[in-house]
Amino acid sequence: MSSTDSHLETLQWPGCAVEGYLVMIDQTMLPGEIKQIECRDVETVWEAIKMLRVRGAPAIGIAAAYGYVIGLQSADPHDDEAYFATASQTRDHLAASRPTAVNLFWALDRMHQLCLSLRGELTPSEITARMLDEARAIHLEDREMCRAIGKFGAELLGDEVQGVLTHCNAGGLATAEYGTALSVFFTAQDQGRSFHVFVDETRPLLQGARLTAWELLQRGIDATLICDSMAAQVMKEGKIQAVVTGADRIAANGDAANKIGTYSVAVLARAHGIPFYIAAPSSTFDLSLQSGDEIPIEERQAEEITHGFGRQTAPHGIQVYNPAFDVTPADLIEAIITEKGIIQPVHRNNIQHVLQVT
């Protein structure tokens, strides 16, 4: 069962055959409408990622992996040169959809490297079939990683915690199934523990209000929605004992990019003596980057702020700055919860040790 609905998965490839297509929940329609869209060409997958119909770092990576297979479906299987040229074009095009979440590049590179390595060994048609298996493997692995993150995270949280805060959406909608940050809460709930989740609405696109609040309600988890600007007050009132968020890219030193506003929450948590945790799979680490300063931050359209969900809420002509992510410095992060274990304290050597990087 998915964390979103007993029948609907965030991402699906109906049937087993390579002639299939990608089906996803259009997250821009939630919570008002649960609508699925079919992606039968690369452009539709690219647009879905760009427009946040599918969003959340792991889900973007899985969608791109299936998108790569869709690209190969249209490649000429009788012309080796043309086939691999289409593979490269598909990789490059999907990689240009969004810049910050490293899972996108991680999944595309994994797909493309395998594809190239099979040249001469298998026929193009056989390679396309093998690539669908690989996309399915990425999908399945993410499911398993989220479950493991949930177990480690629920244990780390302990029984004493009564109130937690999360920002953006790091739930089933953002992953294959159980989520990263929300997997910690779902697992704690599965263990019979009771606690209260405060959900930042997450301006400007309201992933907290539209998606996290919806997922928590569906699971019967006690939750309260707050505006982002209320977090300090709620912390001061003593209602929060831990903060858990996801991440889009974590550098070698532990600096972590996540949805804009996460850094503010981490600063607030430190000011109130509350532990700030990140929950993320190993596919979210980019050890090629020495620090968070090197993480590319996506800047999105001004209209997301001036015309949030349709209505004009700012005067015409006002200058707008709309970075979609920020970077929380490692020293504000109490621990990073991964599928391989807990990174605590957060520093370069410990990251390499827990991730088993040699």
Region of 107 (left: φ > 0; alpha: ψ -120 to 50; beta: rest) is alpha
Cβ burial of 315 (10 Å; 0-12, 13-18, 19+) is: exposed
Choosing from 197, 259, 334, 343, the residue that interacts with ligand MRU (CB under 6 A) is: 259
Choosing from 101, 115, 266, 332, the residue that interacts with ligand MRU (CB under 6 A) is: 101
Per CB under 6 A, does 282 bind ligand MRU? Answer: no
Per CB under 6 A, does 97 bind ligand MRU? Answer: no
Of 55 and 115, which CB lies nearer to ligand MRU in the complex structure? 55
CA distance 167 to 228: 8
Residue 125: name the closest of 135, 115, 134 by CA.
115
Choosing from 207, 282, 306, 328, the residue that interacts with ligand MRU (CB under 6 A) is: 207
Residue 149: name the closest of 289, 5, 305, 343 by CA.
343
Choosing from 258, 282, 306, 338, the residue that interacts with ligand MRU (CB under 6 A) is: 258
Residue with the shortest CB distance to ligand MRU: 246
Stretch that binds ligand MRU, among 2-10, 29-37, 68-76, 245-253 (CB under 6 A): 245-253
What is residue 345's three-state secondary structure?
A: coil
Choosing from 75, 111, 148, 170, the residue that interacts with ligand MRU (CB under 6 A) is: 170
CA distance 265 to 245: 10
Say if residues 39 and 48 touch (Cβ distance below 8 Å).
Answer: yes
Per CB under 6 A, does 55 bind ligand MRU? Answer: yes
CA distances from 14 to 18, 38, 68, 283 (A): 10, 10, 16, 25
Choosing from 12, 175, 187, 328, the residue that interacts with ligand MRU (CB under 6 A) is: 175
Q: Which residues are catalytic?
A: 248
Stretch that binds ligand MRU, among 115-123, 172-180, 215-223, 268-276 (CB under 6 A): 172-180
Per CB under 6 A, does 261 bind ligand MRU? Answer: no
Of 48 and 127, which CB lies nearer to ligand MRU in the complex structure? 48
Could you tell me the smallest distance in angstroms from the CB atom of residue 174 to ligand MRU? Answer: 3
Say if residues 99 and 298 touch (Cβ distance below 8 Å).
Answer: yes
Residue 182: name the closest of 319, 71, 280 by CA.
280
CA distance 145 to 48: 24
Of 132 and 280, which CB lies nearer to ligand MRU in the complex structure? 280
Of 2 and 207, which CB lies nearer to ligand MRU in the complex structure? 207
CA distances from 254 to 260, 333, 346 (A): 17, 8, 6
Could you tell me the smallest distance in angstroms from the CB atom of residue 298 to ligand MRU? Answer: 8
CA distances from 343 to 108, 150, 337 (A): 26, 14, 6
Choosing from 56, 67, 153, 254, the residue that interacts with ligand MRU (CB under 6 A) is: 56
Q: Lay out the site mask for ligand MRU across 303-332 (x = CB under 6 A, - = otherwise).
A: ---------------------x--------
Could you tell me the smallest distance in angstroms from the CB atom of residue 103 to ligand MRU? Answer: 8
In the complex, which residues of this chain contact ligand MRU (CB under 6 A)? 52, 55-58, 101, 168, 170, 174-175, 180, 207, 245-248, 258-259, 324
